[in-house]
Structure 1
Amino acid sequence: MNVEHEVTLLVEEIRRLGSKNSDGKTSVKFGVLFSDDKCANLFEALVGTLKAAKRKKVIMFEGELLLQGVHDNVDVILLQE
């Protein structure tokens, strides 16, 4: 799969699993994304896809890298609706 396609799939999954935050943007906790069965089957490297989407300014999250367990409560925010 190419990166563009994976980023598009990621956006769809954030919309499916997330909810609107106080700013009206869709957000989801990293732990929810990471532990979701559909996401686990879709993404070979979820963390890599998240980093690529952040570089493209499609999503935003605190820090450079998200790790399971440590960053489960970090919000992944969709910048483009």
Structure 2
Amino acid sequence: MNVSHEINLLVEEIQRLGSKNDKDQTSVKFGVLFRDDRCANIFEALVGTLKAAKKKKIIDFQGELLLQGVHDDVDVILLKE
């Protein structure tokens, strides 16, 4: 799978699992994404896909890298719908 395709799938999953924040952006907690069965089946390397999407300014989250458990409450915000 190529990176662009995985990022498009990630956008769809954030839209499916997330909700609008006060800035009318779709947002989802990292833990929700990580524990979702559908996401687990789609993404071999969810953290790598998140990092690539952040680099392309499609999503944003606090920090450089998200780790399960430690960063479960970090918001992953969709910048481009």
The alignment's TM-score, normalised by the length of structure 1, stands at 0.99
Partner of 1:80: 80
Shift of 1:17: 0.1
Structure 1 segment 19-30 matched on structure 2, within 5 A: 19-30=19-30
Query: Unaligned stretches of 5+ in structure 2?
Result: none
Shift of 1:32: 0.1
Structure 1 segment 1-80 matched on structure 2, within 5 A: 1-80=1-80
Q: How many residues align?
A: 81
RMSD, matched Cα: 0.2
Q: Distance in 2 between matches of 1:18 and 1:70?
A: 20
Shift of 1:72: 0.1
Runs (4+) of structure 1 exceeding 4 A deviation are: none
Q: Percent identity, aligned pairs only? A: 79
Query: Unaligned stretches of 5+ in structure 1?
Result: none
3-state SS of the aligned residue for 1:76?
strand
3-state SS of the aligned residue for 2:76?
strand
AA partner of residue 53 (structure 1): A
AA partner of residue 64 (structure 1): E
Shift of 1:13: 0.1
Shift of 1:26: 0.1
